[in-house]
């Protein structure tokens, strides 16, 4: 199985901008693009293969065809024909809503869905860009409801100044908000369940406010999340994988390439997703070669055992697997 590319699913949002079009070098693109769903099996938004002999196949169709050869034996036993991860680019031209995601148990009870644990890798950040992740002080459910009602809820939340290359971990239950001027790669469980708590009282072009889920969110919030552990510290090393996050949901590493390196997946029982954030490189597996450029993502089947990544200049990639 060759490295699979997919047609990006571009989504216009009330807070979107033009950085995704710029990253992907899309001329005359849609305005206000807030998200590009790179690899998705969310119902109604299934990724379609854009290259090679499987061009035109949806991701769910590929899984049904290839089963564990595509996703790995353990993943196929756990998830069947459902792909477990969703990868996006997000451009916050304006603040996103303050929100929280339910865990797997609550999401399954309410929505027959996985929950949403996620991470962010900051691609670009304006000088004053910030984000919110977790509480700055202890509050209880009663205070939560009162503060949401009087508009002071953000006073109890922890804010971070962000810069390019920052990494943040957002487990289900952690209140969060991507702030204006921030562009990220988001890796998450395959779920589209979001509980909006506060949306800065804004209205859409038709004068309507977006639906809030204050009561539902109360059951999903981790009110003990006050340790300030959202930001992940790491040091890049040229031509070596640097692990950023290892969780039960996914593992993510970053590569800074200045030449060629070999990746051995012989002992890995999982697909691998590569996301290029800077530069470009070639993915060679002995039989095929595929170029991945900034703003592109590829899926390597679990049957892929060894690849070589070759960059003639400098390139940065994220590597994700379950």
Taking CA atoms, 171 is separated from 91, 288, 310, 320, in Å, by 21, 37, 33, 16
Active site residues: 196
Sign of CA dihedral 108, 109, 112, 116: negative
Instruction: Give dist(CA 104, CA 320) in Å, integer.
Output: 20
Query: 235: buried, middle or exposed (CB in 10 Å: 19+, 13-18, 0-12)?
Result: exposed
- Two tokens at 39? 């690899």
At which residue do the structure tokens 């487990």 appear? 171
Instruction: Give dist(CA 153, CA 147) in Å, integer.
Output: 5
The alpha helices in 56-124, defined as continuous H runs, are 59-66, 68-71, 73-79, 104-111
Report whether 8 contacts 36 (CB < 8 A): yes
Region of 265 (left: φ > 0; alpha: ψ -120 to 50; beta: rest) is: alpha
Instruction: Give dist(CA 187, CA 47) in Å, integer.
Output: 15
Q: What are phi and psi of 21, to 5 degrees?
A: -60, -40
């Amino acid at each position: 199985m060759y490295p699979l590319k997919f047609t990006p699913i571009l989504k216009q949002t009330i807070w979107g901008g033009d950085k995704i079009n710029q990253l992907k070098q899309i001329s005359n693109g849609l305005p206000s693009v807030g998200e590009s769903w790179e690899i998705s099996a969310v119902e109604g938004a299934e990724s379609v293969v854009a290259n090679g002999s499987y061009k035109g196949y949806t991701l769910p169709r590929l899984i049904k065809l290839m089963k564990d050869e595509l996703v790995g034996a353990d993943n196929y036993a756990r998830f069947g024909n459902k792909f477990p991860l969703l990868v996006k680019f997000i451009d916050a031209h304006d603040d996103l809503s303050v929100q929280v995601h339910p865990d797997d148990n609550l999401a399954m009870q309410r929505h027959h869905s996985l929950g949403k644990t996620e991470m962010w890798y900051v691609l670009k950040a304006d000088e004053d860009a910030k984000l919110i992740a977790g509480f700055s002080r202890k509050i209880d459910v009663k205070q939560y409801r009162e503060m949401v009602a009087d508009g002071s809820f953000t006073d109890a939340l922890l804010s971070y100044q962000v810069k390019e290359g920052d990494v943040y971990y957002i487990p289900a239950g952690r209140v969060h908000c991507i702030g204006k001027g921030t562009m990220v790669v988001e890796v998450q469980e395959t779920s589209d369940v979001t509980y909006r708590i506060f949306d800065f009282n804004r209205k859409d072009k038709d004068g309507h406010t977006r639906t809030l889920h204050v009561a539902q969110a109360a059951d999903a919030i981790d009110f003990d999340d006050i340790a300030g552990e959202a930001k992940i510290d790491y040091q890049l090393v040229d031509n070596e994988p640097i692990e950023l996050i290892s969780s039960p949901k996914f593992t993510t590493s970053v590569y800074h390439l200045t030449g060629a390196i070999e990746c051995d997946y012989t002992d890995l029982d999982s697909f691998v997703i590569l996301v290029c954030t800077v530069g470009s490189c070639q993915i060679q597996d002995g039989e095929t070669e595929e170029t991945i450029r900034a703003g592109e993502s590829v899926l390597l089947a679990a049957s892929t055992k060894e690849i070589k990544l070759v960059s003639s200049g400098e390139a940065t990639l994220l590597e994700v697997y379950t």
